[in-house]
Structure 1
Amino acid sequence: MALEPIQQQRRDAHAKAMERLVVVVQELSYARSLAAIQEIVRRAARELTQADGAAFVLRDGEFCHYADEDAIGPLWKGLRFPMQSCISGWAMLNRRAVVIEDVYLDPRIPHDVYRRTFVKSLAMVPIRGGAPLGAIGIYWAQRHRADDEAVRLLQALADATALAMENVEMRTQLERRVLERTAEAVAAREIAERADALKTRLLSAANHDLRQPLQSVKTYLALLAPDLASPEKRELCARAQRSIEAMDELLDTLLDLQRIQGGQLRAALRDFALAELLERIVVENRPRAEAKGLRLDLRMAPCVAHSDPALLRRVFENLVGNAIRYTAAGHVLIEAEATAQAVRVAVSDTGIGIPDEALERIFEAYYQAEHPAHVRSGGLGLGLSIVQHLAGVLGLRVEVRSTPGIGSTFAVELPLGAPLVAAPRLSVLAAGAALRRAPRAEGPLVLLVEDDAAIADATRLLMRSAGFGVCVVSGFAAALQQLDEGLQPAVVVTDFRLPGSNGIEVIGRVREKLGRELPAVLFTGDMSGQAARMATQAGCALLHKPSDAERLLTVIEALTSAPLPAEPPASPAPSLAI
């Protein structure tokens, strides 16, 4: 009868050990590094077996590396011993557990090494049976023989450790392969599912780096096209430009999708002049529309909206881009109508329209409606899905009306903001119109700040071909030096990422140096959203690389035209079509 309480205690202890083992296995399944695995295992080995010490041993070729330990006194952390001369090596080479009640009576033990420690007894199990990765050892300061249950617990821990180490190794190999791939491979679904954090960092960097050479290629093509005498060669040049535009659009879409899937988008709501945002979208997209023979118009009265202008800009860029893509003839119209509480912004087109049965699915990722007049553009079917996600982040609802063969209208309703007290601003669209009505005899001077030599050269040639004077510098210090020497630019065009600074800092210091609000263009391959927010706050135009030559020149021409009077935001004004 006296044995029953002892047996019950053993059963209770075993049950607690099994519960602890389950928790440890869960912790190991979440481990993302070998260091994390070592920390979990060294603590768990002692707790499961009530030992005085535990060691985590890794196989390092023909050596045993005592990588980590948890013990009442020092063991051998950081040391390496030949496989043939230590008991952990014996367990790995023989692929089985070993229990030693007295280390000084076992010939496999290097006694001199153990005399410097507290160890009198031990047990050692290999990590993985087939080709051991290492071993887990437990030690006692008094003579003790580990029973079968303790060895089984230790071996179960070792098996879970092996799986965790293999998982970490697979993850490490995957990350290594991802780092070696191109941006196209980064966008692959397998990487999106298994390495989201790594893909986010890689895609952001690759996105910027790919835009740099694309910009110079696109600008050189724009300079080359007018000098090609053969219609066939001009068409080849146009095809190359369209291919670059398709890649640019794909990069935009992939980055937007990754930011949405990664939950990285956060709305920074504020009051802003809606007309300025919409005017810039029109200016930047009008060359593309006119190339297809379309009119791109804006109709609105000045008003102040309350939203995140950077995210809202991406919403309307996608809607306007879609409208131009799927409209073969006619026009695209952006119209903003304000009420007492809100402003409704609609993007309408005279395009192919959307069948009724497809209206509920057009916001799904990768969905593209089939249509008799639909000419596939090579897109991924993500534009409207991204619009829907961005609208959700902004707390907006996207309305759609469409008639096949007649056209479509997409609209969102924005809350109104408080009236802004500001000096009358230059209307970008009006300035562009004034420029076309009264061409200048001599082009204004552009200060171009760009550290990429190819882009700087191509942009300089483009601006000179359009009649602008150009001063090219590679960075912040060089720009200030030119101003100290008397340079008086009409506009500054700067890259966002510059050595030791960024374009927003350059714009601020140039304006401070000149003592006036110099018109500015932030020209960047950075699509993270940071550049867009900073550009909005600084009151400068934003162009993403690669930008077509006509768009760049149109924006610069508008910014360098003579300012025209504009109604203050708070003053009532009639609806105006520009």
Structure 2
Amino acid sequence: MSMLLRADDSDARRVQKLSKISEVLISRVDRLEESRGSAWSTFQAAAALEQEIKARTRDLEKAMADLSERNRELAVARAHAEEANRSKTRFLRAASHDLLQPLSAAKLFLSALSDTQLDPLQQELTGRLAGAFESVEELMHAVLDISRLDSQRIEFQLKPVHLSELFRRLAIEYAPMAESKGLRLSFAPTSAIVESDPTFLRRIAQNLVSNALKYTDKGGVLVGVRRRGGRAWLEVLDTGIGIAAPDRARIFDEFQRVGREGGAPGMGLGLSIVRRACAKLGHRIALDSEPGRGTVFRVSLPTVTPETERGLYEPNQNSSSLRGRVVLVIENDTAMRRAYQLILVERLGMVARIAGGIAEALALTGEEPPDMIIADYNLDNDENGLQAIRELRAAVHQMVPAIIISARRDPEIHRAGLEMDVPVLEKPVRPEDLQSMLRSMIT
């Protein structure tokens, strides 16, 4: 019996031990199964993520390809637009010569006509014709200015500009306009020298003075310079109709005019040109105005070393007489040649030699140099006025004073003229400007 009991206890212990081993093994198997399931899930998740990444990569590559195609299309469109803009500018430059040539001749003929005996009706008609020509000239110059300022490839020639000289030219140019309206046009004395593009700074000042005179019925216009914070502020003050606060922003837009209907003439482009030019040159513009009391426009300009103060400039009307002086005119247009002859000979009493090109001018000159030369820039056979002046000076071995007349508003022509000490007058030529420049050359 005892032996049987020991055998039972041994079996029980064996069974118990085997049970524990089984439990341990089952636990390990369960853990392995759990681990295997987690790894499989991870593997499946990784595989799914990889597919998602591949899909997103394909989408991104397609989007990048589409973007590259759009960028190419935009680049092509931009190139076409820039070329179209350049073509427009080239066309306007080319057309301006053909348009301004007859206009310039017509103005000179009209000026010569006004010097003859006219009855009251004829005087009225010539006055109205002169006004019409001025309007056409103003509009053409405005269109050309806006075209150039809108060009992305415009180049400015920044250099010192003597504001006293600018004021002198403005005084001569706008005195008739002020006198016709019974207004005072005054220029305060200044010795300020500023840095700007001379051509466009003059256009800015011209438009501001012209605008002030147009919108002023009584009193006058004062142009001066105020120094503030190391800068010179070009100021144009008038006693005109003024500008209401709501209108002060829109007056710089194209074709905007304020005030009474039928009042000031013009197309409303002057201040638009001022805004564009100031923005391109980095010149700040400001205005103050009170309706019924007048307006002041201010343009901020960087200064250069100032000169000694000088008094108010008065145009020199007592310069040496032009009568009897010999002037050589080089002009390929028949109407312009006749117009120059009427102004130079009939009005100014000069001796005019007229040539159509360089060879003819050299033949007329011989060994006796003229007192001065007037040359159109665009001549036949790919010649130009600067080339003609250069060859004539070389032929007579003298720096004969000369003027270039040009319908092209091109800074390159002005720069080349400055290098040769040859001023440039732009068409259509005002007889008063031509006479003033000829007198200054003699002086």
Which band: TM-score by shorter chain? 0.7 to 0.9
Q: Which residue of 2 aligns with 1:366?
A: 255
Tell me the secondary structure at the aligned position of residue 346 of structure 1. Answer: strand
Tell me the secondary structure at the aligned position of residue 348 of structure 1. Answer: strand
Q: Which residue of 1 aligns with 2:325?
A: 444
Q: How does 1:65-214 map to 2 (within 5 A)?
A: 195-214=84-103
Matched, 1:504 2:389: no
Q: Residues 536 and 407 of structure 1: is their aligned pair in 2 closer, same or farther, counting only changes over 3 Å?
A: farther
| Post-superposition CA distance 1:276-304 (Å, at most 9, x none) | 23322332333333344444333223343
| Post-superposition CA distance 1:332-382 (Å, at most 9, x none) | 33223457833332222333322233223322233222x248614141x22
Q: Please list every run of 5 or more consecutive structure 1 residues that lacks an aligned counterpart in the other structure.
A: 1-8, 37-170, 172-191, 422-426, 563-578
Q: Which residue of 1 aligns with 2:288?
A: 401
RMSD: 3.9
Q: How does 1:109-508 map to 2 (within 5 A)?
A: 195-227=84-116, 229-338=118-227, 341-369=230-258, 371-372=259-260, 375-379=263-267, 381-418=268-305, 432-435=316-319, 440=321, 442-466=323-347, 467-489=349-371, 491-499=372-380, 500-508=382-390
CA distance in 1, matches of 2:379, 2:226: 41
1:311 CA displacement: 1.9
Tell me the secondary structure at the aligned position of residue 362 of structure 1. Answer: helix
| Structure with higher RCO (Cα < 8 A, 6+ apart) | 2
Q: Residues 431 and 364 of structure 1: is their aligned pair in 2 closer, same or farther, counting only changes over 3 Å?
A: closer
Worse-matched range after superposition: 239-248 or 405-414? 405-414
| Post-superposition CA distance 1:367-414 (Å, at most 9, x none) | 222x248614141x2211211111122211112223333332222232
Q: Residues 222 and 442 of structure 1: is their aligned pair in 2 closer, same or farther, counting only changes over 3 Å?
A: closer
CA distance in 2, matches of 1:374, 1:527: 31
1:455 CA displacement: 0.9
Larger helix fraction of residues = 2
Q: Residues 521 and 348 of structure 1: is their aligned pair in 2 closer, same or farther, counting only changes over 3 Å?
A: farther
CA distance in 1, matches of 2:440, 2:150: 37
The residue type paired with residue 336 of structure 2 is I
The residue type paired with residue 347 of structure 1 is V
Q: Which residue of 1 aligns with 2:36?
A: none
Q: Which residue of 2 aligns with 1:557?
A: 439
Q: Residues 266 and 26 of structure 1: is their aligned pair in 2 closer, same or farther, counting only changes over 3 Å?
A: closer
How many residues in Structure 1 have an aligned counterpart in Structure 2?
Answer: 388
1:517 CA displacement: 5.3
Tell me the secondary structure at the aligned position of residue 497 of structure 1. Answer: coil
1:319 CA displacement: 1.3
1:315 CA displacement: 1.0
Q: Please list every run of 5 or more consecutive structure 2 residues that lacks an aligned counterpart in the other structure.
A: 1-53
CA distance in 2, matches of 1:193, 1:24: 20
CA distance in 2, matches of 1:301, 1:26: 53
TM-score w.r.t. the length of structure 1 is 0.58
Contact 1:310–1:533 (CA under 8 A) maintained in structure 2: no
TM-score w.r.t. the length of structure 2 is 0.74
CA distance in 2, matches of 1:235, 1:29: 57
CA distance in 1, matches of 2:226, 2:63: 68
Contact 1:344–1:412 (CA under 8 A) maintained in structure 2: yes
| Post-superposition CA distance 1:519-569 (Å, at most 9, x none) | 433221112333344445544443221133333323323433x3xxxxxxx
